[in-house]
Amino acid sequence: MKEIRIEANGKLGPINAAEIPRYAGAATYARLPRLDQVQQADLKIVGVPFDSGVSYRPGARFGANHIRESSRLIRPYNPAVDLSPFEHIQVADAGDMAVNPFNINEAIETVQQNALDLTADGSKLLTLGGDHTIALPLLRAASERAGEPVALLHFDAHLDTWDTYFGAEYTHGTPFRRAVEEGILDTEAISHVGTRGPLYGKKDLEDDRRFGFGIVTSSDVYYQGVTEVVDKLRQRIGNRPLYVSIDIDVLDPAHAPGTGTPEAGGITSRELLEILRGLRGMNLVGADIVEVAPAYDHAEITGVAGSHVAYDLISLFADQARLANETAAGSGA
Ligand SMILES: N=C(N)NCCCC(=O)O
Ligand SMILES: [Zn+2]
Ligand SMILES: [Zn+2]
């Protein structure tokens, strides 16, 4: 059937829900065009159906498509930041990477190579996982594109700086330790947000601090509030190239039951969205949303959370473009 899309400023936007009911047709993120339907994209949304790195419940391989399905209700204007993101940048859904479920090392290579290929034209990536293992190759690609180690905001119940599981170095509990070892993170500007829950021992925290991570726990968000937390994060990171990795289990299981390693006492989806909105104007170079496992979801609670988190991340990318265009216009360029 013919697609009727919203178009503005030369950007091809979502299928118009006033013309074609939003539940009709195959799902792309927010009913945006596929990458092959646009000339060029500033931001590509790509799925990584991979969960061979999990330590508990499997199923995040279905996460990207679940987020896509749960994103049909997304509307084009984001009032929280007064922006129609899809009018400022061309966003397109690049589909899924074909990763080997039986060979983690090969899967990691594939994600890294695909991320480099997708960004060769200067575009940016928003990746939908997949388990957290994939953050390592995505960070490798992001730091290569940035030409320097990147700052990291890591939203997660977990540290994911553990060493090995069953002798395996590449798992969803270890990507950020590997990333520090590989020198792809700017260790002056890395922080976890939303950390909570039982650890193996105090050494987990000591190791983590030694690697350079700051921690904003889920309790810190509660006691200090979003504004203070955002101020601290902005001070720590400044204008460095910033990668944002969001493990959906940063949210309380009430807000995101569909995930593999849930921990009680998490932040709310409102707090997460507000913290993200607080990052406006920062130098965001890439982002991911991982660990959505639909088999444990109910009523698309986790899918909707993931799709809205993606929307506010897209709004951050779009806001950067809006600011750059305004600056260029203001200087008469
Ligand atoms: N990255 C996520 N979601 N979880 C890591 C949990 C590691 C563990 O089982 O100890
Ligand atoms: Zn986690
Ligand atoms: Zn994680």
Q: Give the domain ranges of the chain.
A: 27-322
Ion ligand 3: residues, CB < 5 A? 132, 156, 158, 160, 247
* pLDDT at residue 270 greater than cutoff 70: yes
Rounded Cα gap, residues 164 and 170, in angstroms: 7
Across 262-291, average pLDDT: 98
Residues 150 and 186 sit within 8 Å (Cβ to Cβ): yes
Burial 1-23 (b: 16+ CB within 10 A, else e): eeeebbeeeebbbbbebeebebe
- Per the confidence metrics, is the pTM higher than 0.95? yes
* pLDDT at residue 92 greater than cutoff 70: yes
Which residue among 56, 195, 246, 248 has the greatest number of ligand 1 atoms within 8 angstroms of its CB, and so is best to mutate? 56
Residues with CB under 6 A from ligand 1: 55-56, 132, 158, 160, 172-173, 247, 249, 260-261, 291
Please count the other Cβ atoms lying within 10 Å of the Cβ belonging to residue 256: 29
The residue whose CA is least distant from atom 5 of ligand 1 is 173
Share of the chain above pLDDT 90, in %: 98
Q: What is the CA radius of gyration of the chain?
A: 19
Which residue among 158, 161, 259 has the greatest number of ligand 1 atoms within 8 angstroms of its CB, and so is best to mutate? 158
ipTM above 0.95, yes or no: yes
Residues 279 and 230 sit within 8 Å (Cβ to Cβ): yes
CA dihedral for 35, 6, 294, 43, sign (positive or negative): positive
pLDDT score at 332 = 59
* pLDDT at residue 303 greater than cutoff 70: yes
> pLDDT tens digits, residue range 14-63?
999 999 999 999 999 999 999 999 999 999 999 999 999 999 999 999 99
Rounded Cα gap, residues 333 and 322, in angstroms: 15
| CATH 3.40.50.300 is held by the domain 27-322 | no
> pLDDT tens digits, residue range 161-182?
999 999 999 999 999 999 999 9
Specify the DSSP element, H or E, that contains 310: helix 301-330
Q: Is 158 annotated as a binding residue?
A: yes
Helix orientation angle between 269-277 and 226-237, rounded to the nearest 10 degrees: 40
